[in-house]
Amino acid sequence: MQHLFGSEIPDLVRDFQAHIRTKYHAEVLVEENRNAQGKTVYHVFLSGNTPHFLAIKQETEVFLTEWLERKNAQAWQNGVSSINVPHEAPSANPQSNSRFSFLSYFQQQKITVFLTALCTLIYLLMFLGFAEPLLLLTHFPAEPEQEEEIWRYLSHTLVHLSNMHILFNLTWWWIFGGAIERQLGSIKLLQIYLLAGVITGVAQNVASGPAFFGLSGVVYAVLGYVFVLDKLNKQTDFEVPDGFFYMLVVGILLGFAGPLVDINIGNTAHISGLLVGMLVAFLDRNIRVKS
């Protein structure tokens, strides 16, 4: 038997049991005992003969992190600064107390973190007086000689022009880009980024010229990918909410209203990105979740 984690929170243990039962059709064993302070601790074990043993073992820490984040978000919305979720990190020995490793969580989404940090850094540099040189350096190729500057086919995705622009893009990128990377690996997310970054850039350039920036095309590719794969591959667990597709359609339709309020929106990049993501997801419909 492999010890996965110990917790004083029964809701956490019940949610984990339900998650593993739903996703992997497997059962975990829960044992109760009391710690040195006299509090009840629920220890969760997994049989070594369980199907998807490695996948469940690896997913345990991710589940604990995401559960904690959700509870903290709910607490914040209810006016509580944070919640304390005492538990023991995954360990081979139920008596060993090791702190929960958030570093491991970030290591599972290196591409997500790197691009988020890079976009944020560039946005800050623009406010420090480097806007003009950055825009000149990163825009999509506008002249024949710039076509050989291959970074321009992707660098336009890293620049944002307003607070709302960067907040919208990085929020969705962090949530669903991170989910793709944790479940399917960094290479898969990088593939989607590279493919969507280039294709949406070319499409938007054909439609309106090279004066466009932002991660929006890639974000729509990520959203389209998780929507389709969540329907076609039952191994994945992106927690796509009801009405998700309608949200995507409404977002694109609202983009066409941008000129009415003097806002230029890259609708071609959004649409082409969505189609790219959906197509890649269809091709990946039999992909295996990282184990």
Sequence ranges of the domains in the chain: 2-106, 108-283
**In this structure, what are the phi and psi dihedrals at residue 3, rounded to the nearest 5 degrees?**
-80, 125
Selection from 12, 4, 5 nearest residue 71 by Cα = 12
Per-residue pLDDT, 223: 96
Would you say domain 108-283 falls under CATH 1.20.1540.10? yes
- Identify the active-site residue in 52, 87, 139, 270: 270
Question: Among this protein's residues, is 186 annotated catalytic?
Answer: no
pLDDT above 70 coverage of the chain, percent: 85
Per-residue pLDDT, 32: 87
**CB 172, CB 222: distance < 8 Å:** yes
Question: Which spans in 156-265 are helix H?
Answer: 163-172, 178-184, 186-208, 216-232, 244-255
* Neighbouring residues of 157: CB distance < 8 A, sequence distance ≥ 6: 193, 197, 201, 213, 214, 215, 217, 218
Per-residue pLDDT, 239: 77
Q: Tell how many helices (H) and how many strands (E) occur in the chain.
A: 12, 4
Residues of the chain with pLDDT under 70: 1, 72-105, 257-264, 290-291
pLDDT above 90 coverage of the chain, percent: 44
**What is the 8-class DSSP label of residue 90?**
P
The pLDDT tens digits of the residues spanning 83-128 come to: 444 554 444 444 443 444 456 667 789 999 999 999 999 999 999 9
The pTM score is 0.65
Instruction: Tell me whether residue 238 is exposed, middle or buried, using C-beta atoms within 10 angstroms of its C-beta: 0 to 12, 13 to 18, 19 or more.
Output: middle
- Side-chain-side CA neighbours of 288 within 13 Å: the count stands at 5
Question: Among this protein's residues, is 52 annotated catalytic?
Answer: no
Per-residue pLDDT, 137: 94
- Identify the active-site residue in 160, 216, 272, 291: 216
∠ CA 245-182-16, rounded to 5°: 90
The CA distances from residue 25 to 20, 52, 63, 196, 233, in Å, are 7, 10, 16, 35, 15
Per-residue pLDDT, 33: 84
Cα separation, 10 vs 44, in Å, equals: 11
